[in-house]
Structure 1
Amino acid sequence: MTTAAGSATSPARKVGARRLFAGGGFRRLLLSRLTAQWGDGVFQAGLGGAVLFNPERQADPAAVAAGLAVLLLPYSVIGPFAGALLDRWDRRRVLVAANLLRGALVVLTVVAVGTGMEGVPLYAGALLVMGVSRFVGAGLSASLPHVVDRDHLVEANALAATLGAVAAAVGGACAIGLRGVVGADNAGSAVVTAVAVVGSAVAALVAAGFARGQLGPDEFDEPAQTMVAVAHGLGDGARAVARTPSVAAGFVALMAHRLVFGASTLAGVLLMRYAFGDDGLFRSGMAGVGQAVAAGAAGMLVAAVVTAPLVNRFGRRATITAALLTAATAQLCVGLVLSLPTVVVVTFFIAGGGQVVKLCVDAAVQQDVGDEVRGRVFALYDTLFNSMYVLAISLTAIVLPQNGYAPGLLVAVASVYLIGMVGYLAMDRRSGASRHRP
């Protein structure tokens, strides 16, 4: 732990968000995260509207799956290499350079959207943008222990990760609102997507305010040659996870959530476009997707409030188990009562339960893994996190009908949560960290 963390606390041991915000380093890192993720939300919603809800384009299950996959697939490919670099290079410089690169790549993608390009050119731009975005996300997570005291990483994760998710949702809402003003055709989609550049630029400017070396790494245990270290990134992260049962068990739980969430997301997008009509306050189409995203963001916000108290009172194991059971029950309900209101309401519980699991796993990585390898573990974390999502939507696209209406499938995938819970409990028994009190 660097001395930066000490500045985030005081002898009085102030509690809650007020204590965290007393540290200037945490405030700056949080602001960089919020602006970056706001830009991600704008970009994803702008591109999603261009590909999935553009009247000039048609979208079947395979096309929707491809559009969703390109938003998350990149880090599954570059993650292992990025992790090694995050444990070798000054993370402050990485955050600045990566945010600026992302802004430039957004501009290239805007050109592809505005000119009506489809297929490889459009998806290549999106792949590059989101690949750099995930690199930034891993860097922010690996940097957090340098600005927050170790004993309060659960609260810091709850605040930073969840406010970041809310910022992304706000960015998506801004994109949806702007889309209603400038239009849903190619030109309008290009304008909306271009706004994401603002988030990248501001995030880079904020990150530049850190002192050199303030975000680590303090030391590294990699080969002298950078490319050798890069090539070993995935293996190093996997070995570190294997040595840390609390982290390995958390990965199992989180991967189960991502599999179910991926299948449900694909079905939900198709239902919003083809099967559902407006139902009172609930809207179909892109507006319905916005309502579902808002419900998910609200669930994540609640997760931010309740996760640390639950871990303090019941321990990490019980908290993760309860979150998986809650998400499984919600998933079962949406399959049994498949309607527009049910989809929106249940998204609150599924997203909230998944966020509780993620916050616990984030804290496990930051508390139980050494700083010299933490970036590679977070890179492996994001690689698995996104790979499971891509795998789920790819498999689901094969069996889903055109309109996405498949209640039996949505009921069946609820069992994945239960399988993940059993796997998590079995692996967690190897660890003495399951009753950890932050």
Structure 2
Amino acid sequence: MVPGARLGLGGLVRTPGFRRLLAVRFATQWADGMFQAALGGAVLFNPERQADPLAVAAGLAVLLLPYSLIGPFAGALIDRWDRKRVLLGANLARAALVVVVAAVVLSGGAGAALFLPALAVAGVSRFVLAALSVALPHVAPRRHMVEANTFAVTAGAAVAALGGATAIGLRELVGTGDTGSATVTLVAIAGSLAAAVFAGGFRRGQLGPDRTDRRPSTVSSVLHGFADGARATIATPSVAASFLALGTHRLAFGVSTLLSLLLFRYAFTDAGPLRAGMAGLGEAVVLAAAGLGTAALATPWAVRRWGRPRTVRVALVVATVTQLTLAALLSLPIVMVSAFVLGLTGQVVKLCADAAVQSEVGDEVLGRVFALYDIVFNVGYVLAVTSAALLSPPNGVAPWLFAGAALLYVIGLVGHDLQLRRARATAAR
């Protein structure tokens, strides 16, 4: 092993720039978790409360697609503006929007009056998270992107959960009426303000972009953002391979999500400690979260041992076998085990895709590629849920659809391999 090839978590955290960017991320994601729980996201956006499978798909579309609609525009701006200023300004803007939402809650507002500013907060949050992702290569060595990204993403998700728990605890203290809800919502601005303060500690230009495109205006750059991201992705076969793997995973995972929801509601009955209904869904979510946590530990080890491409292929093969097992042995225990395995394998693919983009895409287009990445991640999932809703029986008992999800993983595996062969052929020229 080359000396210093493995920096380790301790070495990363001792890096001042990485440590400060982590502080921005943690404050940002704490604020996100706090805001979502304070607003009652489980009531406003929760598709599990809908009996109609198509309503489930509609609920997920409302939750996820607004992020993707602003993605190409946000990405272009992140590639033209000083990212320190992006993180500073976006967090201040989010704090102002949270104040607006709190005022609407206090006044008893509902419907569009509450929904639109809440979506604006979500959109700005997506902007901040994209800026954090593209800034990471400027504060951590590129050869350690898997370690740095794995820790940042996983710890950030844990901090977001802590923010949600904080909101729930605070709500017990201040009450559950409009005044209490508005108070808890308003407290979420503390995270945004802290993130802005931490971001202000970076030097101008420290987070990039190192170069910008040559278009004469920001408007022109924004309008071309999606096409630029797509061209940059296609031009880098290893990144295109990662996109294919991630995209097919999200399609397959969307199918499994819709069917599992219907099975828990209409088909399953309790099996010992395993529950059906909403309680069972909660157990499945916990197992899926455990899979994500396990991936944070397993991915850096696997990448060091096998390399990133082989790690992705192993994850896709394991996911394929899991989906076929679901199709053959459709039962509550198998669905529970699958929740853990698919959470693990899907996160492995995502972490490897993150690292591919961060380490192999030019800094001048990195924001736009991440915007495309966001669209692949969210739109593919919503399309799969919608398709499954149209094709599934009302009770979700559809082994053939689970088998179809397995086929999607196989397509991802083949596409990933073909793109890597294109990379090797390009390198050999």
What is the TM-score normalised by the length of structure 2? 0.85
Structure 1 residues 48 and 96: CA distance shift in structure 2, 3 A:
same
**1:315 corresponds to which of 284, 307, 324:** 307
**1:87 corresponds to which of 49, 71, 79:** 79
Return 5+ residue gaps in structure 2 as ranges: none
Q: Pairwise CA RMSD of aligned residues?
A: 3.5
- CA–CA distance in structure 2, aligned partners of residues 172 and 116 of structure 1: 22
Contact 1:53 1:285 in 2 (8 A): no
SS in 1 for 2:80: coil
Structure 1 residues 316 and 305: CA distance shift in structure 2, 3 A:
same
Contact 2:47 2:57 in 1 (8 A): no
| Cα-to-partner distance string for 1:54-96 (whole Å, 9 max, x where unaligned) | 99x7553233222222222123211111111111111111112
Alignment match, 2:290: 298
**1:49 corresponds to which of 38, 42, 48:** 42
Alignment match, 1:224: 216
Aligned pair 1:215/2:216, yes or no?
A: no
1:69-148 superposed matches below 5 A: 69-109=61-101, 115=108, 117-118=110-111, 120-121=112-113, 123-148=115-140
Contact 2:45 2:62 in 1 (8 A): no
- CA–CA distance in structure 2, aligned partners of residues 422 and 87 of structure 1: 32
Aligned pair 1:18/2:10, yes or no?
A: yes
Contact 1:96 1:207 in 2 (8 A): yes
Structure 1 residues 382 and 276: CA distance shift in structure 2, 3 A:
same
- CA–CA distance in structure 2, aligned partners of residues 181 and 397 of structure 1: 40
Identity of aligned residues (%): 56
Contact 2:73 2:225 in 1 (8 A): yes
Alpha-carbon shift at residue 240 of structure 1 (Å): 1.1
- CA–CA distance in structure 2, aligned partners of residues 345 and 74 of structure 1: 32
Aligned pair 1:379/2:379, yes or no?
A: no
Alignment match, 2:408: 416
Alignment match, 1:350: 342
Contact 2:30 2:163 in 1 (8 A): yes
State how many pairs are aligned.
423
- CA–CA distance in structure 2, aligned partners of residues 411 and 176 of structure 1: 39
**1:390 corresponds to which of 382, 395, 400:** 382
Structure 1 residues 339 and 37: CA distance shift in structure 2, 3 A:
farther
Structure 1 residues 123 and 183: CA distance shift in structure 2, 3 A:
same
- CA–CA distance in structure 1, aligned partners of residues 193 and 426 of structure 2: 40
Contact 1:53 1:273 in 2 (8 A): no
Aligned pair 1:159/2:151, yes or no?
A: yes
Structure 1 residues 273 and 247: CA distance shift in structure 2, 3 A:
same
Alpha-carbon shift at residue 204 of structure 1 (Å): 2.8
- CA–CA distance in structure 2, aligned partners of residues 219 and 169 of structure 1: 36
Alpha-carbon shift at residue 252 of structure 1 (Å): 0.5
Contact 2:47 2:59 in 1 (8 A): no
- CA–CA distance in structure 1, aligned partners of residues 257 and 185 of structure 2: 21
* Deviation larger for 277-286 or 310-319: 277-286
SS in 1 for 2:379: helix
Contact 1:50 1:184 in 2 (8 A): no
Alpha-carbon shift at residue 281 of structure 1 (Å): 4.1
- CA–CA distance in structure 1, aligned partners of residues 113 and 331 of structure 2: 36
Contact 1:49 1:286 in 2 (8 A): no
Contact 1:61 1:397 in 2 (8 A): yes
Alignment match, 1:247: 239
Contact 1:237 1:377 in 2 (8 A): yes
Contact 1:256 1:417 in 2 (8 A): yes
* Deviation larger for 394-403 or 141-150: 394-403
| Cα-to-partner distance string for 1:255-313 (whole Å, 9 max, x where unaligned) | 00111222223334444555556655445555544433332232222222222222222
1:161-180 superposed matches below 5 A: 161-171=153-163
Contact 1:50 1:189 in 2 (8 A): no
**2:391 corresponds to which of 371, 395, 399:** 399
Contact 1:49 1:189 in 2 (8 A): no
Contact 1:72 1:130 in 2 (8 A): no
Structure 1 residues 47 and 248: CA distance shift in structure 2, 3 A:
farther
SS in 1 for 2:349: helix
Contact 2:50 2:56 in 1 (8 A): no
Contact 1:91 1:215 in 2 (8 A): yes
Contact 1:276 1:284 in 2 (8 A): yes
| Cα-to-partner distance string for 1:372-401 (whole Å, 9 max, x where unaligned) | 111111112112221112212222232345
Structure 1 residues 357 and 269: CA distance shift in structure 2, 3 A:
same
| Cα-to-partner distance string for 1:112-131 (whole Å, 9 max, x where unaligned) | 6774734x555434432322
What is the TM-score normalised by the length of structure 1? 0.84
**2:418 corresponds to which of 416, 426, 429:** 426
